[in-house]
């Protein structure tokens, strides 16, 4: 990556832009392929370092991975072994924390290096660990490793479980959803995150044979299936990328059409833009934004999704 960007301004933005896949959704989608021995096709992958690192981790465990296009990959994890995981890669990406849930769904005992990622302050995974312990998993923190012992989790596989998350954590919600997807009993997750990436994972789990209810709300029910199906899944477009292009188009002379987007997860964001005075026109899966010189200040309160926010709790 270049050490600096040089931007030459005073240019109108004109044309059409297509939105790429959502990086914040890609982590759990790739991790979820570990839960089935059957082939999975994942499409619309964002081509970013976190995604490439996650794919390398899957390969290190024995996953068969074949690129079928610039953004499409075939993954088969029939013969994986967590003991061969490349621990050097785990601290390089925050989304590696999402490997824990799928591995719990398939293996009784395993260990993983402490997840890493961007340094934006304390990024504790205590919400994840507390939820796993509630499921019956014994966890030990040994030097730079977490050790997971899931005998009680498997022995009580058909029991109804209720998990209360202590915060609206996106990745903790996703991790628990995946961990219990091979449990044939019902699991209720309260205090769940409702973000678009959680909804995207829910769609993938449904396609794999998991019964879900309430995904997109703060109470989710999961009724798993012992053997999950393979799946074709296309990752949702990135709503943060959409918001970035909308903002740029509104502030500069010209007109920009933003295509291949999911307007459903942008309702409150677009409502606020309309209140501010941004000129835009919505279609089924696109939005056209034109220069908006007469903007006004409004009050915006950050709230958990679906409230107005662009900061996600990981």
Tens of pLDDT, residues 288-311? 999 999 999 888 877 888 776 543
Evaluated on CA atoms 224, 130, 162, 96, the torsion sign reads negative
Tell me the β-bridge partners of 234.
43
Q: Most distant CA pair in the chain: distance in Å?
A: 65
pLDDT-flagged residues of the chain (< 70):
1-2, 116-123, 308-314
Between CA 28 and CA 132 the distance in angstroms is 17
Q: How many CB atoms lie within 10 A of CB 230?
A: 17
What burial letters (b/e) apply to 154-191, b meaning 16+ CB within 10 Å? eeeeeeebebebeebbbbbbbbbbbbbbbbeebbbbeb
Between CA 73 and CA 206 the distance in angstroms is 20
Q: What is the pLDDT of residue 313?
A: 33
Q: What is the pLDDT of residue 123?
A: 56
> Is the domain 23-234 a CATH 3.65.10.10 member?
yes
pTM score, two decimals? Answer: 0.91
Judge whether 219 and 232 are in contact, CB under 8 Å. no
Q: What is the pLDDT of residue 314?
A: 33
Which part of the chain is CATH 3.65.10.10?
23-234
């Amino acid at each position: 990556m270049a050490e600096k960007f040089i931007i030459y301004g005073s240019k109108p933005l004109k044309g059409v832009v297509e939105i790429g896949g959502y990086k914040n959704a890609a982590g759990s989608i790739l991790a979820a392929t570990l839960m089935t021995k059957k082939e999975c096709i994942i499409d619309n992958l964002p081509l970013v370092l976190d995604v490439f690192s996650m794919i390398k981790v899957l390969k290190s465990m024995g996953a068969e991975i074949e690129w079928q296009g610039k953004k499409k990959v075939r993954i088969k994890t029939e013969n994986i072994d967590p003991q061969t995981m490349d621990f050097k890669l785990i601290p390089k990406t925050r989304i590696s924390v999402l490997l824990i849930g799928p591995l719990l769904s398939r293996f009784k005992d395993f260990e993983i290096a402490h997840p890493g990622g961007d340094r934006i302050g304390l990024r504790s995974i205590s919400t994840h660990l507390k939820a796993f312990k509630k499921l019956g998993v014994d966890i030990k923190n040994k030097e730079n490793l977490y050790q997971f012992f899931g005998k009680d989790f498997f022995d009580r596989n058909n029991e109804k479980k209720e998990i209360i998350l202590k915060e609206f954590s996106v990745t903790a919600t996703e991790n628990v959803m995946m961990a219990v997807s091979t449990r044939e009993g019902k699991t209720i997750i309260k205090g769940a995150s409702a973000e678009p990436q959680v909804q995207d994972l829910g769609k993938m789990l449904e396609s794999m044979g998991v019964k879900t209810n309430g995904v997109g709300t703060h109470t989710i029910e999961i009724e798993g299936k012992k053997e999950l199906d393979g799946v074709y899944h296309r990752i949702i477009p990135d709503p943060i990328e959409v918001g970035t292009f909308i903002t740029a188009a509104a502030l500069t002379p010209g007109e920009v059409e933003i295509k291949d987007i999911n307007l459903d997860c942008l309702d409150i964001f677009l409502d606020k833009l309309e209140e501010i005075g941004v000129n835009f026109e919505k279609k089924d899966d696109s939005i056209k934004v034109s220069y908006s010189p007469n903007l006004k200040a409004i009050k915006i309160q950050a709230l958990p999704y679906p409230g107005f926010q662009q900061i996600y709790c990981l």
